[in-house]
Structure 1
């Protein structure tokens, strides 16, 4: 078993996020870990668990296309959250962005 604290249960997500952001050339200041996890949780519960990582991947592409700043992040995450809520409330199977 590894003694590496990065692999311990409950490893610091903020440290991982900052390291990943740096490796990918993303400003870690625009990544609100709690908000991203909350949105992923909403998608997982209102759509399906496998939809959470897929949704956040698509959201990341949308944020990048919108300029990648904090306003774009907030807007896209709000739209993902709204789409998940409408998916859960609407039995037609279509998200309403």
Structure 2
């Protein structure tokens, strides 16, 4: 068990969630795709949005696929940085 596994186990226990329902590789893959294709701070925000969608009944794999496809289709902003004031342009 690595540090991430220990963290997920402790965090799920603290929140009263079943650890076996956490799809760590899926979330990490989605976060990577958003960080590289869209903007780095979008990774944790997207993970949160995925959690909201799943909490409201969305299938985790389907929601991750939708968000992953959106990130893959996002226009490249190479060399730019976004702030909270800069809205993304799809």
TM-score by length of 2: 0.75
After superposing on structure 2, the runs of 4+ consecutive aligned residues of structure 1 that deviate more than 2 Å are none
Whether the aligned pair in 2 keeps the contact of 1:30 and 1:73 (CA below 8 Å) is no
Match status 1:64 vs 2:58: no
Question: Which one of 54, 57, 79 corresponds to residue 66 of structure 2?
Answer: 79
Deviations 1:7-63 (A, max 9, x none): xxxx61011011111211222112121221111000000100000001111111111
Q: Unaligned 5+ residue runs, structure 2?
A: 77-87
Q: How many residues were matched structurally?
A: 78
1:93 corresponds in structure 2 to: 89
- Larger relative CO (CA 8 A, sep 6+): 1 or 2? 2
What RMSD, in angstroms, separates the aligned Cα atoms of the two structures?
Answer: 1.9
SS at match of 1:17: helix
